[in-house]
Amino acid sequence: MTPRTLLALGAAAVAFAAGTVGTDVTAPGGAAPAAAAEDRSDVTSTVQPLVRVTDRELRRVDTVELDAETLVLRRGDATVADLPMRDARSTVSLLNRLLGTPSRTQTAIGDGGACFPAGTTYTWGGAIRVAALDTPSSVGNAVEIRVLRDSVRSRAGDRIELTGPDGVQVGDDVSDELDAAPRSDKVSFGSGDTQAWQLLLEPGWAPDEDGTTTDDPRAEHGADPSQTDESGAADGDAAEQGTTDEQGANGVSALTNDTEVTVIGSPMPVHARRSC
């Protein structure tokens, strides 16, 4: 694997680890042990969340699905709760009730990358990370979510599947999806024999009124903005194609090592051009 590819994948994987000494280590049962550098106090707010779910309903959850603008708790094909990413309180509170006490870190602007906002990052079992922003972004999201594994243990010790849209999971091969995706929905961060990709799985998060977006995928990948895509054209050339490319295609995306999914995240725009 080339140094450029390693840089791309490494930056994406640690973007939400800012402020934490070391990495999350999952203990038996899926619980993340405490770390001395982590602030684990006041994990949940005393204010009631906007989305109400009973304990009985939560015990039935077997899947957490990250869509473009929502985090969906499911039991089979049935929806138990639909958590809008504009509601940080409900998202953090319900995940805490479902998965147990997370590790918790405070981040300042830029701690996790050039465009990383200030907020509080919660991590459950090294598998799912939620950054609750101090101030909602211009597109409206109050949280940024990354799925780092294909499953996590619940508070009760049960296995909870973690997926993106259409059941895509970390570890899946998405070569067919990459082949079928239009150029506007994917970008290559690899070179040589090994490729690393960002693939838009589901669109969302309309741009703000001035036609721009505050999120820049290169902040997570650590990629060179002058790099070329799979067609051999520089990203800068794509700016001449219209406002859609200038704004980027935002939503929930997958990052890959070659064609294997390593991270699923939202918001995570493809081809965004605005710098922070």
Domain end, chosen from 167, 190, 205, is at: 167
Nearest residue to 259 (alpha-carbon basis) of 9, 3, 7: 9
User: Is the whole model's pTM more than 0.75, yes or no?
Assistant: no
Tell whether 183 and 163 lie within a shared domain. Answer: no
Whether the CB-CB separation of 235 and 189 falls below 8 Å is answered with no
Q: Using alpha carbons, select from 153, 151, 144, 138 the residue that is nearest to residue 92.
A: 144
Query: What is the edge-to-edge ordering of all strands in the sheet holding 151-153?
Result: 78-84, 70-75, 63-66, 159-163, 151-153
Phi, psi of 116 (to 5 degrees): -80, 125
130 with 183, same domain: the answer is no
Residues 203 and 108 in one domain: no
Residue 153 and residue 67 share a domain = yes
151: in domain:
yes
Say if 69 falls within a structural domain: yes
Containing domain of residue 129, as a range? 14-20+32-42+56-167
68 and 153 in one domain?
yes
Whether residue 152 is found in the same domain as residue 181: no
233 in a domain, yes or no? yes
Coil vs helix vs strand at 264: strand
**Structure tokens, 151:** 């499953």
- pLDDT tens for the chain, residues 1 to 276: 554 444 444 444 434 333 332 333 333 333 333 333 334 444 444 455 678 899 999 999 999 999 999 999 999 999 999 999 999 999 999 999 999 999 999 987 766 555 667 899 999 999 999 999 999 988 899 999 999 999 999 999 999 999 999 999 999 999 999 999 999 999 998 777 778 999 999 999 876 554 444 444 333 444 443 343 433 333 333 333 333 445 578 999 999 999 999 999 999 999 877 555
Q: Is residue 6 part of a domain?
A: no
**Residue 113 and residue 65 in one domain:** yes
- Identify the domain boundary among 119, 140, 167: 167
| Same domain membership, residue 145 and residue 76 | yes
Q: Does residue 146 belong to any structural domain of this protein?
A: yes
| 27 located within any domain | no
Burial class (CB in 10 A: 0-12, 13-18, 19+), 232: exposed
> Does residue 154 lie within any of the structural domains?
yes
Residues 244, 142 share a domain? no
Asked if residue 68 and residue 149 are part of one domain, the reply reads yes
**How many separate domains does the chain show?**
2
Residue where one domain finishes, among candidates 135, 167, 199: 167
Domain annotation covers residue 212: yes
Same domain, 106 and 206: no
